[in-house]
Amino acid sequence: MGRAAVNKVFQIGVETTAGTAVAAGKQLPSLSFSLSPELRTKDYRANGFKTTTVLQLNREMAKGSVEGPLTYNEIIWLLCGLIGENDGSVGGSAPYTWDFAPKTSGADTPKTFTVEVGDSTAAQQAAYTQFKNFKLSASKDEVKVSGDLFARSLANISNLTATPTVIDQLPVNVNEIDVFIDSTFGGIGGTKLTDVMMFDIEIGDKFLAREVLNTTFQSFKDAIETDYQVKVSFVVEFNAQTQALYAAMKASGLPTRYIRFKATGPTLGAGTYLFQFDAAVKLMATEQTDQDGVYAYKFECLAIHDSSFGGAYSFQVKNNVSAL
């Protein structure tokens, strides 16, 4: 019998030392991963020949992506892999609080992962899996996340890690979402936008693979941070609230506004499940649009460093996961 693609499994494990493979003992059942080898070759054709005479393999690594619904539990793997969770923020009992506050100056400390992919017939493993970027899109139909990743070259292994822990699936429902925008950081979360129809967060390429001329590193040596942008856009009915918001955001000097995207889930222990994104933003562009028959405005904003915020953006997640 042939190998059915539907039986292909992805498992993940957090690395203690970046690039040193570990057992991939967790499954994230709401997220779909893809991971494929990437060969970088160089060809040459010498004088007197009409076809290639030399073909070399210079580098081998793996590249892929992840996508799926936003869930309160599984999202922390993506955020830990892109930003790194603040030390000491996870509490002693549920709901566990995960704070992600990326630095606008200085190094973040993201987690790297070992990923295993395969089935009972054959499997492969990729160490030093690094999440590269991130996108969240919310609409009346769904809330989904996606991102790209890269890893060192895929290696054959005898078996997938046995009896992995399957993380509880709890997707964010569109009816659990509120969006707020305020003029001061101290007042963030005070003014709700009443008629938001779409909301997007896009974190650009945050990491690059660093390659060196060293026989120890046939793929890449490590990941390095690079400059990147965080864009926030939302579509809202053009009403009196939107008119006032547009006037305020395009005023002289393009004043900073503080935006919050908040999903409040079911009760958990003494609290609730939570996914929250905060950002200090300035208006980049606007567009009048027909959104499902509604006269609407699209606001496109850029997150910026803000001294009262202490950064440009942050995430907070509360869930029932105490450790990756």
Residue 2's pLDDT band (boundaries 50, 70, 90)?
A: confident
* Res. 86: pLDDT tops 70: no
Per-residue pLDDT tens over the stretch 300-320: 999 999 999 999 999 999 999
Summarised one tens digit per residue, pLDDT across range 237-249 is: 999 999 999 999 9
Mean pLDDT of the region 189-211: 97
Break the chain into its structural domains and give their ranges: 5-39+53-319
pLDDT value for 120: 86
Instruction: Reduce the secondary structure of the chain to three states and give it as a string.
Output: CCCCHHHCEEEEEECCCCCCCCCCCEECCCCEEEEEEEEEEEEECCCCCCCCCEEEEEEEEEEEEEEEECECCCHHHHHHHHCCCCCCCCCCCCCEEEEECCCCCCCCCCCCEEEEEECCCCEEEEEEEEECCEEEEECCCCEEEEEEEEEECCEEECCCCCCCEECCCCECCHHHEEEEEECCHHHCCCCECCCEEEEEEEECCCEEEECCCCCCCCCCCEEEECCCCEEEEEEEECCHHHHHHHHHHCCCCCCCEEEEEEEEEEEECCEEEEEEEEEEEEEEEEEEEEECCEEEEEEEEEECCECCCCECEEEEEEECCCCC
- pLDDT tens digit sequence for 9-63: 999 999 999 999 999 999 999 999 999 999 999 999 999 999 999 999 999 999 9
